[in-house]
């Protein structure tokens, strides 16, 4: 028998929704997550997953693409209308288009089948360890958090404390991952971030997936900001390197 995964210090107050139509897989994953200290709920259909995500407000949804009733893509799309939980998609090996579509509708990460339950637990732990901003370190007792001033790029304003992006006086509906990418790049305007650096700061230094996951989320972020990649105002491509924040002209 494999050893029980170590108890995560954050797990005891964190809920995970596992959705897979193969009940044996869902139960195995649920068992490992429970042993790691997470509160776990299981669903096996698309409609049940949407309903459970709305009712339980989980921190993470482990979402299989091949659900009956509603597939994983549509489930993710609907969940993103009311929740900014992390979504970890389960895809068949080689289904690159499904992964791209899944990420484009708001999934944060993916893992390909077949996978080990321990690997999936590690991925859940990794997304929950993501740094949220430069100022997330604990403060001394009695100290007040310093205000992080708005960052202005033309008609785009990034509000780190509120975790909002405001474009022409309208709040842009960004996922956690999209906002994290924007926050990191806006923190150092004109600095050229490599994909690896963005993965380290937005995902986790231990994340071992394809670094081009950054490209998918940047494309989604650009679309929401109305940013034309051929004439970018906010997110510029640095050939051979990655991306940097533009001046928003």
Helix, strand and coil content of the chain, in percent to the nearest 5, comes to: 35, 20, 45
Q: Taking residues 95-107, what's their average pLDDT?
A: 70
Number of structural domains the chain divides into: 2
Classify residue 120: in a domain, yes or no: yes
Task: Say how far apart CA 93 and CA 177 lie, in whole Å.
Answer: 23
Task: Label residue 9 by pLDDT band (50, 70, 90).
Answer: very low
Contact between residue 56 and residue 18 where contact means Cβ atoms under 8 Å apart = no
Q: Give the pLDDT confidence of 24-37 residue by residue, as tens digits.
A: 989 999 999 999 99
Which residues, other chains included, contact 96 with Cβ-Cβ below 8 Å and sequence gap of 6+? none
Same-domain status, 166 and 113: no
- Choose between 40 and 137: higher pLDDT: 40
Contact between residue 219 and residue 227 where contact means Cβ atoms under 8 Å apart = no
Q: Give the pLDDT confidence of 149-189 residue by residue, as tens digits.
A: 889 999 999 998 888 899 998 999 888 888 999 999 999 98
Average pLDDT value over all residues in the chain: 82
Classify residue 196: in a domain, yes or no: yes
Which SS3 state, helix, strand or coil, does residue 180 take? Answer: helix
Q: Has residue 224 got a pLDDT over 70?
A: yes
Contact between residue 151 and residue 133 where contact means Cβ atoms under 8 Å apart = no
The arrangement of strands across the sheet holding 156-159 comes to 151-153, 156-159, 164-167, 170-171
Task: Label residue 208 by pLDDT band (50, 70, 90).
Answer: low
Q: Give the pLDDT confidence of 111-154 residue by residue, as tens digits.
A: 888 888 888 888 888 888 764 443 333 434 444 444 578 899 99
> What's the angle, vertex CA 33, arms to CA 28 and CA 34, rounded to 5?
95
pLDDT confidence of residue 109: 82
Classify residue 137: in a domain, yes or no: no
pTM for this model (two decimals): 0.60
Same-domain status, 238 and 170: yes
Q: Give the pLDDT confidence of 63-76 residue by residue, as tens digits.
A: 998 899 999 989 99
Which residues, other chains included, contact 219 with Cβ-Cβ below 8 Å and sequence gap of 6+? 104, 229
Element holding 89 (H helix, E strand): strand 86-92
CATH number of the domain residue 39 falls in: 3.40.50.2300
pLDDT confidence of residue 133: 40
Task: Say how far apart CA 204 and CA 224 lie, in whole Å.
Answer: 24
Could you say which of 93, 128, 163 is where a domain stops? 128
Q: Taking residues 30-46, what's their average pLDDT?
A: 93
Task: Say how far apart CA 21 and CA 64 lie, in whole Å.
Answer: 8
Q: Has residue 50 got a pLDDT over 90?
A: yes
The residue segments making up the domain with residue 32 are 11-128
CATH number of the domain residue 186 falls in: 1.10.10.10
Classify residue 3: in a domain, yes or no: no
Q: Has residue 205 got a pLDDT over 80?
A: no
């Amino acid at each position: 028998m494999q050893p029980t995964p170590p108890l995560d210090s954050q797990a005891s107050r964190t809920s995970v929704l596992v959705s897979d139509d193969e009940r044996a897989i869902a139960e195995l994953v649920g068992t490992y997550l429970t042993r790691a200290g997470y509160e776990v709920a299981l669903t096996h259909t698309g409609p049940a997953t949407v309903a459970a995500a709305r009712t339980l407000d989980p921190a993470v949804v482990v979402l299989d693409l091949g659900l009956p009733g509603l597939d994983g893509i549509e489930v993710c799309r609907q969940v993103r209308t009311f929740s900014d939980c992390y979504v970890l998609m389960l895809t068949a090996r080689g289904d690159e288009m499904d992964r791209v579509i899944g990420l484009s509708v708001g999934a944060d990460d993916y893992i390909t089948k077949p996978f080990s339950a321990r690997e999936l637990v590690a991925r859940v732990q990794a997304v929950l360890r993501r740094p949220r901003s430069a100022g997330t370190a604990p403060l001394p007792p009695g100290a007040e958090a310093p205000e992080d001033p708005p960052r202005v790029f033309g008609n785009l304003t990034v509000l780190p404390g509120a975790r909002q992006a405001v474009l022409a006086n309208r709040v842009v509906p960004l996922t956690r991952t999209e906002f994290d990418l924007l926050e990191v790049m806006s923190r150092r305007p004109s600095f050229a971030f490599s994909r690896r650096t963005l993965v380290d700061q937005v995902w986790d230094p231990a994340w071992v997936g394809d670094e081009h996951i950054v490209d998918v989320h940047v494309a989604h972020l650009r679309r929401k900001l109305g940013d034309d990649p051929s004439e970018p105002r906010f997110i510029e491509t640095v050939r051979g390197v990655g991306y940097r924040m533009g001046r928003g002209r």
